[in-house]
Amino acid sequence: MLRIHFTGEDLSRVTVATRSDPLWDVLLSLHMVQEPDRSLAFSEWRRRTRALRMPAVRPLLELARPWGYSPDFLTPGRGEADFAHQLEDVLSTPRTQLSAELAILAEESRPTPWIRELAGGDHQVMARLGDTLAAYHRVALAPYQARIQAHAEADRARRGLALLNGGVERLLAELHPRVRWEAPVLQIPVYADQDVYLEGRGLVLVPSFFCRIQPITLMDPDRPPVLVYPLSPRLGWLRPAAAEGDQDGLDPVVALLGRTRAHVLDAAAAGGTTTELAVRVGVALPVISRQTSVLREAGLLDTRREGGSVRHHVTPLGIALLNGELGPDGTLG
C-alpha cells in the first residue's frame, strides 16, 4: 500500500500538471508494450510499436520491466519540461544515484552486463542510453503527442471542476477508483509498502496516457513529490484527430449509429453489465437494454452470461468501427 501523508500546507499546494510527462510516458509505455494485450484501447498501439522491431531499444526493457521496481532516475520530471530538457537531466544523473538505484534493481533480477556498465556512469554507456531513449520516444510516442495532449487537457478540465465543486479533498478522492482518501492520507494499493510524507512540499498530479491499473509515484521519498495517474483513453484514440466540435471523438460512429447508441458501444469496450453501462453512459436501464439489443443484432455487441451476471462485450466488428476502420457507410476503410 502506498500512503501519502498530507499536512494542511500540502493540501494548499496540490497542483495538476498541464500535460503528461514525456519520460514518465516513455517508462510506462515500455511497461505496457511488454504486457499481454489486455487493454483494447492499446491493442493497435502495441501492434504498431512491436512491428517497429527496434533492437536498439532492448536495453531499455532491462531497465523498465513491466512489474516491480524501475529506477527513479529515468523519470526526473513532473510534466514541467519537454523531452529534450528531461533527457539532459537523465544523462546528468550523479554516479552515486545510478549505482544506488541500479543496486535496488539488481535485488529483483540479475543485472545484465549493460546494467553493470550503466551503474558505473561511463560516458559512452550514458550516451547510448540517451540515444536509445530518444529513438524510442521518436517512433513510439512522438507521432501521437497531439492526441495525448488533447486527452490531458480534457482531463485537466474535469479535475478543475472537481476542485471548484468540492475542493482539493474531492479532487484527491475522485482521482482514481483505486484511490482512497482518508484525511490526511491518500491510500493507493501498489506492489510495495511505502509511506511518503509531503511535509509542506505539496504534490504534483501528472496524467499519463500509459499509466495502468492505479496511480504510482517514485520510490525515493526525498525526490520532489509526484503522483502519476491514468488517463484511460477511449478505444479509437489512434484515429485521425477529431474535427472541431467532436468533443468525444465519436462523430463518425455517431453518424452511423446515433449518439446514444454510439456511447453505449464505446462504454462496452471495457466490458460490463447492463447496469454498469447505464452508469457509464448516464441513461436509464431500459434505454441500455434497448440499445444493446440493437447493437447485438447488428453484430457490434456480444452478450454472454458470466457467472451470475450477463455481460456485454464489443465484437471485432464493433472494435473496427470504434477504431475508425469502418467508414460511415459501414465498409472497411
Residue 75 has φ and ψ, to the nearest 5°, of -130, 75
Alpha helices in 137-250 (DSSP H): 145-173
- pLDDT one-digit tens code per residue, 246-274: 445 566 678 778 889 988 888 887 678 88
Query: Could you tell me the pTM of the whole model?
Result: 0.75
Give dist(CA 305, CA 314) in Å, integer. 14
In this structure, what are the phi and psi dihedrals at residue 152, rounded to the nearest 5 degrees?
Answer: -65, -40
Residue 242, pLDDT above cutoff 50: no
Q: pLDDT by residue (tens digit) across 153-169?
A: 888 888 888 898 899 99
Tell me how far CA of residue 202 lies from CA of 16, 17, 221, 232, in angstroms. Answer: 11, 13, 13, 25
Q: What is the pLDDT of residue 331?
A: 45
pLDDT tens per residue, range 138-158: 999 998 888 888 888 888 888
Rounded distance between C-alpha atoms, residue 151 and residue 248, angstroms: 10
